[in-house]
Amino acid sequence: MPLKVLIVDDDNGIRKLLGRFLEREGFATLEAENGLEGVETAKREQPDLIIMDVMMPQMDGLTAARLIKFYKPLSEVPIIFLTAKDAEKEIELAEATRAEAYVTKPFDVRQVIEVVKSLFEKV
């Protein structure tokens, strides 16, 4: 059974692009358009890893990540943050949520795939 990756981003193009590349690498993908939907999808689908944008409508990625990490069945699921923010404060906040990686936009899809693979190697 392929490992499931949940992609949470309000940009449909980014979700589709990452999904396509991850599926080529043998991963199953799920999508959510905002943090609230991401939390609900994560609880329902129990993904093996989450890639999440920080700035989104309805619920930002940092809040969503905290809710996911506090939910016992998902507390160990790795989270990779994708964001246009490169500010030190944003990185500190991401680290405070126990995120495993932080990638800034614009990003190279191959870089994200390598981070995903490296995190699964640690599991």
Cis check for the bond before 106: say yes or no (omega within 30 of 0): yes
Q: Taking 60 as the threshold, does the pLDDT of residue 102 lie above it?
A: yes
pLDDT tens-digit readout, 43-58:
999 999 999 998 899 9
Q: How confident is the model at residue 91 (pLDDT cuts 50, 70, 90)?
A: low
Q: pLDDT at position 35, please?
A: 96
* CATH code given to domain 4-122: 3.40.50.2300
Q: Taking 70 as the threshold, does the pLDDT of residue 87 lie above it?
A: no
Q: Taking 60 as the threshold, does the pLDDT of residue 30 lie above it?
A: yes
Hey, where are the domains in the chain?
4-122
Q: Taking 80 as the threshold, does the pLDDT of residue 90 lie above it?
A: no
Q: Is 94 exposed, middle or buried (0-12, 13-18, 19+ CB in 10 A)?
A: buried
**Residue type, position 64, single letter:** A
Residue (of 80, 85, 91, 90) closest to 118 by Cα position: 80
Q: pLDDT at position 93, please?
A: 65
pLDDT tens-digit readout, 107-121:
889 989 999 999 888
